[in-house]
Structures are given as structure tokens and as C-alpha cells.
Chains A and B, each alone.
Chain A
């Protein structure tokens, strides 16, 4: 899961990014509205945490521009503006959720999961597909009722692929989701994780579309 944190307060941004990485997200951070817009134009994110009071360009403008382009990327506003008119303006501008500072990390994490779940069109917090059950809260995976132990990276790859069964993710897309910008990736890292997943979950759990990428097959 790749998350963009738009926050001009460096202390908060750093703390938030550290916490999200601990939760297994790939995190990118920008500190002003203009950089946020250009980041959102050039890369795909699974979720955006957006501050409103930003230098250069207000967070609401960033959000309106994003929605104006028809981009449905889930956005959670994280701001110090706690008054009702601002909350309404934020949600009406296209935000999926609104969190007021000072926030609780666990609550932010829970709201992120909830927004991601809804974005994927699921009501069930767990992702179930072809006998595999993936729980984003506890980071556990079961195969036909039996727990399977995965590394953090293997889990992230599996989670990304299981979000939309049938759609193909390229190696570069998977790398982005795992590391964000600037993360140093070994050239065959993704192949290693996919190999590990196949070993633990069965060979047909993840399929390869040669030259394009990987996907989880739809229901047979």
C-alpha cells in the first residue's frame, strides 16, 4: 500500500511517516500544496493523508484539483481546522474522511483501513479470495483456515494483488507500493517475494503475465 503524506509540519510528517512504515505502508511525504499536486499527477497512490493549511497551495485546492481530474484516490484530511464548516467543505470537496489534530495514531490507522476497504468495494475488513483470507488489521493470512506466516514484504505484495483480483500489477508498480520513492530495491526483490508467496500458498495463488506483471486470478 502506497500512501502520500502531505504535511508541512516536519515534526508531525516525520512521526506519521515512521508510524505508517511500521504498519507496512510505503510512505512518500511532501510539505506543500504544489508538490502534493505534482506528486499526485505523476504517481499512483492507494491513499492520501492531506493537511489543509499548507504553504503555496491550500489542501482543499489540491483535493478539488485531484477530484476535478476524476482521480478517485482515497483522501483523508488530517488538519487542525476542527470547525464544522471546514469539515463539511473538506468532505464535500471529495475527502473520504476527516481527522482533526491532535489525532491518535491507532485511530488514523483504523480510518485508513476503513477508507481502503470501502475504496476496494468491500464491507468485510478481511480480504477473502479463493480460500485465502488476508486480515489487514492483524497482518495475518490464512489458507483454508490454516495460518500462514508471511514476511512483511510478502504480505504487502499479496495485499496489493488481492485488492483487485484479476488486474495485473507490474513489477515497478509493486515496488512503488512497497517502498515509495527513494527506497532502494534490489532488482529481483519482487520475484523473490512472489516466489515465497507461491511456496507458502500454492503455485496458482499468484499468476504471471509474462512481460507485464503479476495477478491473482479471479474466481474460476
Chain B
């Protein structure tokens, strides 16, 4: 149901209810007031008659000519009716003194009886008269209100229409948005009620825009980066075609194999990165012991460490260190960190992985901390910020890297709401620390 129809119905019903209430109240109030007045009049008439009767004990009063509502009856001391102002009416024989409500022949009367020396005077008036007065007063209140209804309806339609105009403008603005244009909606003068909706919408549009741009940049980067391994592949293939003797063929075959491995590695890393983005923190991660994924990640890189002549070690605490996390993603994180450390460390060097529960500076819960340190050349502070960028490779980067390792680490850390820091290792190389939030610090599920 439209807001306009709902408002219209509600307002009209309200006005109708108010009219009925006002009418009823007016009716009752006017009825009460006229009753008091007429009662007073009944009594005054009776009293004035009593003062006249002794002067003319057998007064032959003419029947009432006026079309009056009042009916006068006078009885003498013997109970004989001596006067009746409206002879045609079958009126009360039994007289009550004082005020009384009497029903005669389907009509209700208000009567007043007064005892005099010569008998009883009774003045009667139909209640209908009083009710008609009250009804008239009530109608005079209700009718203007009812006449106002159509006007009110038109006003509601108009006001609601103009009130909803900003909403229609917002709607048509939203309609103009698509994947290519996700610009925020102009915050131009908007009613206070719609502003929060538009603000939220703009925030969503901004997030969407960022996500789409990131996606486009990712695809563009990926397409660009795939060219290098593909170039190497094609080059080696053509060299294989050209090779004229067995040693040249063997060399070309070996190089071709390496180029294929490299292309596969890049594609795998791209997929891993794509799987771990978008970088919104996920709140529904289950608590796990960090030792398991860390040990698995280290086992994945063990062969590489041995091939590079690197001493790879894991230090952990006696009690399991727990954090919220996805086991497979954390294994990938550790694998990439250790892989990176191994590749940057000269043969004979060391790569050390450490897990511990870190007491926070401000008290409270412990946080899980994962550190990977190596004895390689490290990264100068100026380059650390860019180190997590996709495809960022420093000039001294070793061969065979995809440039995605730390970007993957960053994506996974972000998903875990974990803090990632680069520093100097005691061994002289790079120290990467991943600090997981304490259990109480996780962002609420969106």
C-alpha cells in the first residue's frame, strides 16, 4: 500500500473519529445544559401559576393556544383535574411532586409537580424537545468537520506528494547508476528522514565502486603479469624449435619446463589471492590452535628451505596459542611468508617462525602473535609500505617470485582482522609479525 493511501486512510479515519467524538460530547453536554435550564423553567412556571391561582380559585383558563411544548395540568384538593392546557393529549393522571421522568404512550416526558393550597400544579415537557436541541448543537459541530474531509484529503494528497518528491528524485538517481558509474547521489537538500537512507546508499555505492575498481585493477594487473611467463614460454618454445643439436635441445627443454612451472606458479598465486579477496574482515571464523596451520605451512616449504640451504625452525609455547581463523587460509599465509623469507635469504641463513600469546599493553585478553624472521637483507623502511602491493617486486627480488606472496598474506590477514607489521629481525633480516585480535575484539558480523 502506498504511503499516500495509508496516510489518507489514517487521517480520514482520525478526522471521522474526532467528529463522532465531538458530536457525542456536544450532544451530551448540550442535553445536560438544556435539561438544567428547562427544569428550572418548569419549576418557575409552576411557581408563577401557584401565585395566580388563589386570586381566581375557579379560573377558567383558556386552553393553551400557543404551540408550546409545555403542558399544564391543575388538580384541586379533591383530585379532580380542573385545568388541562392540551385537552387532546392523554396525560398523566397520577401526579408526582417534584421532578420526574414519565413515559406515556411511547413518549417520554419530564414533569414537575407542585403542591398548592388548592391542589397540585403539574408542568410537563416532552424530553424529545431537549434531545432535538442537543442533536442540533451536535450537528452544528460535526457538519463543518465532515465538510472539511474532502479538503483535508486533497491537502494530504498534495502534501504527501511534495513530501515524497525527494524520494522520487533519489529513486531516479539510483536508477541511473550502473557498474560503470557508481558516483554518490547528490546530498542536495534532502528531508531529514531520507538523508540517512541516501547516506547509507552513498556509502554502499562508494564501497561497491571501490570493489569494482579493485576487481578491474586486479584483472588488468593479472593480464599484464601473465604476459611475462607467457613470453618466456613462447621464447623457449621457439628456441626449442630452432635447436639444431642435442645439447641445445636439452637446454631448451629444461628452460621450457622452468617457464611452464613459473606460469603455473603465477596462476596458482593469482587464484589464491582472488580467493582471499575481497578484504572485508570475516567475523564468523572459528577458534583454532595456531600451531596446526603454522606447522602445515612450514611443512609445505620444508623442501624449498633444504634446497636453498636454509635452517628453518619453529618456536611455540607449551600451551596452544588460539585465535579465530580459517585453517587452510592461515596455512597459505604461513607458507607464503616462509617461502618469501627463504627466497630472500642467502644460503646458510636462518628462517625462524614463532608463535606466542602476547599480553596486551592495556591489560585484558592475550592476543595471538605469529612472527617470521629471516637473516636475509630485509626491506628498507621506505619500501615497506609498498611491499604488500600486488606484483610489487623490488629490484633485488630473487627469480621465480610472482610478486603476489605478500599481497596474499595481506589479504588473508585482513580477512582475519589481523595486524600485519614489517620490522627488523634480530637475525638482521626482515621480521613479519601478524597480530590476531583477542577473542573479545573481533568485529561483529555485518
Complex: chain A residue closest to B227, CB-CB: A80
Interchain pairs with CB closer than 8 A, number: 62
Q: What is the distance, in angstroms, from A118's C-beta to the closest C-beta of chain B?
A: 25
Q: A55 an interface residue at 8 Å Cβ cutoff?
A: yes
Q: What is the distance, in angstroms, from B129's C-beta to the closest C-beta of chain A?
A: 99
B224 to A81, Cβ gap below 8 A? yes
How far is it, in angstroms, between the C-alpha of A102 and the C-alpha of B228 when the chains are bound?
Answer: 7
A11 to B399, Cβ gap below 8 A? yes
CB neighbors of A among B220-250 (8 A): 224-225, 227-236, 238-239, 242
Bin the interface of chain B by size. Answer: 20 to 34
Q: B395 an interface residue at 8 Å Cβ cutoff?
A: yes
Complex: chain B residue closest to A80, CB-CB: B227
Bin the interface of chain A by size. Answer: 20 to 34
Q: B262 an interface residue at 8 Å Cβ cutoff?
A: yes
B239 to A19, Cβ gap below 8 A? yes
**With known contacts A22-B242, A104-B238, A12–B228 Cβ distance under 8 A:** yes
Cβ contact of A11, chosen from B227, B255, B395, cutoff 8 A = B255
B232 to A11, Cβ gap below 8 A? yes
Q: What is the distance, in angstroms, from A209's C-beta to the closest C-beta of chain B?
A: 38
CB neighbors of B among A54-102 (8 A): 55-56, 80-81, 101-102
Q: A18 an interface residue at 8 Å Cβ cutoff?
A: yes
A80 to B235, Cβ gap below 8 A? no
Q: B128 an interface residue at 8 Å Cβ cutoff?
A: no
Q: A16 an interface residue at 8 Å Cβ cutoff?
A: yes
Q: Which residues of A contact B393 (CB under 8 A)?
A: 55
**With known contacts A10-B399, A11-B399, A104–B258 Cβ distance under 8 A:** no
Q: B353 an interface residue at 8 Å Cβ cutoff?
A: no
A102 to B230, Cβ gap below 8 A? yes
B234 to A80, Cβ gap below 8 A? no
Q: B259 an interface residue at 8 Å Cβ cutoff?
A: yes
Q: What is the distance, in angstroms, from B231's C-beta to the closest C-beta of chain A?
A: 4
**With known contacts A11-B259, A19-B242, A105–B235 Cβ distance under 8 A:** yes
How far is it, in angstroms, between the C-alpha of A128 and the C-alpha of B232 when the chains are bound?
Answer: 37
Q: Mark B residues whose CB is within 8 Å of A.
A: 224-225, 227-236, 238-239, 242, 255, 258-259, 262, 393-395, 399
